[in-house]
Amino acid sequence: MIHKKIKQWIFILSGLLCLVLAAGILALCTGSAGIDFTRIPDILLHGKDTTQYSILMGIRLPRILLAMAIGGALSLAGTLLQGMFRNPLVEPYTLGISGGASLGVCINILFKFYAVIGIAAYPLFGFLGASIVIFLVYSLNRNSTNIRSNRMLLTGVMISYVASSLVMLLMALSHSDDLQNIVLWIMGSLDEPNTALIRIACIGSLAGLFISYFFCMDLNALLLGDEEASNLGINTARSKKILFITASFLTGLSVSVAGIIMFVGLIVPHFVRMMTGPDHRILLAASFLAGAAFLTVSDVIARVIIAPLELPVGVITGIIGGVMFIWALSKKQVTL
């Protein structure tokens, strides 16, 4: 029986890995430089000194890796939060964590902390903002008997509004060059020239996945509610704390590197759950991979749809995600 389950899981994971690879290859082959699809293997193998090689390896590949890391991180954060709150509508964006992270990054840009701390100031401030929001949402709803209640979601939405208003306030008060920085960054783009940040994003999101796996059984038990989980021997307070920090870290990281990208954390876990069921042992990795593939493909669309101009990738995920989600809702009941 268990072997059947493991076989099924391996099948799902290898399918998703193929999907990620296919998305990566598609992204590598598309772009405004007009590199012929059939010549790509040749360029990669023999043309190390050509401009085309540097476009593929120096511009497209880092962007693909970043898309995969961010897509995986956002989707994983959504999965963790939905599991903990037992609410299928929870994700970094609806809980206001993305808003908090963006406020943190804005403060960093305005007060030029990056000049002091270095490039790591972006993810650091994103993480700080995200943590403060998640702490607020959780402590404001701590006494509510039913943590699934929409009260928490409303708190998140309100905090999200406050955060975006504060961002606008900061923008209104800032100099024009800072303003441009903030606007560009808020639009949400995976066009990140800084390789150090890309490296941080890749390592960070994989680390998040690694840490989450230590708590996959705790998450399974938490699906039954806090009380049942602790009757099953889970130290719920500790597990939740670590998982909250992990989710804030993943969100802060994504927002600080790529701006606000909506809906990935909401829809990807849903579609994956329809396929795998609610068992977090498969769900965590599957969500990560599916999120990676989804954001990579969305970025391809964002790059080519009005080429040579580019759309912010958040626009694409918002539109595709929203439409697909409504379609799925009308087809099948969405549960955890």
Partner 1 sequence: MTSDRAIPVLDIKDLNFGYGQTPILKDISFSVNPGEFTAVIGPNGCGKTTLIKTILKSEPPDTGTIHIQGENIEFLSNKDLAKSMAAVLQSIDPASMSVRDYVLLGRLPFFKRYQFFETQYDLDIAQKYMDLTGITALSDSRITQISGGERQLCAIARALTQEPDLLVLDEPTSHLDITHQKRILDLITSLKKELSLTVLMVLHDLNLAAEYADRLILLNKNDHKIYAAGSPEEVLTESAIQTVYQTHVKVRPNPVSQKPYVFLVNSQNQTEEPFTKE
- Interacting residue ranges for partner 1, rule: CB under 8 A: 1-2, 6, 86, 213-214, 216-217, 220-221, 223-225, 227-228, 230-235, 277-279, 281, 335-336
CA 194 to each of CA 58, 66, 258, 302, 304: distance values in angstroms, whole numbers, following the listed order: 11, 11, 12, 20, 23
Q: Residue 320 or residue 328: which is nearer to partner 1 going by CB?
A: 328
Q: Residue 254 or residue 287: which is nearer to partner 1 going by CB?
A: 287
Q: Residue 278 or residue 322: which is nearer to partner 1 going by CB?
A: 278
Number of other residues whose CB lies within 10 A of the CB of residue 40: 16
Distance CA 128, CA 139 (A): 16
Q: How far is the CB of 278 from partner 1 (least distance, A)?
A: 4
The C-alpha angle with vertex 325 and arms to 324 and 328, in degrees rounded to 5, equals 85
Q: Residue 16 or residue 221: which is nearer to partner 1 going by CB?
A: 221
Residue 246: closest CA among 68, 90, 81 = 81
Q: How far is the CB of 222 from partner 1 (least distance, A)?
A: 10
Helix (H, G, I), strand (E, B) or coil at 60: helix
Distance CA 185, CA 312 (A): 10
Contacts of 186 (CB under 8 A, 6+ apart): 102, 167, 259, 260
Q: Residue 9 or residue 111: which is nearer to partner 1 going by CB?
A: 9
The b/e string for 110-141 (b: 16+ C-beta within 10 A; e otherwise) is beebbeeeeeebbbbbbbbbbbbbbebbbeeb
Residue 112 and residue 182 in contact, taking contact as beta carbons nearer than 8 Å = no
Q: Tell me how far apart the terminal alpha carbons of the chain are, to the nearest angstrom.
A: 23
Q: How far is the CB of 234 from partner 1 (least distance, A)?
A: 6
Q: Residue 33 or residue 275: which is nearer to partner 1 going by CB?
A: 275
Residue 59: closest CA among 199, 193, 185, 187 = 193
Q: Residue 80 or residue 163: which is nearer to partner 1 going by CB?
A: 80
Q: Residue 124 or residue 284: which is nearer to partner 1 going by CB?
A: 284
Reading the block at residue 222, the tokens are 């938490």
- Axis-axis angle for helices 121-140, 97-110 (nearest 10): 140
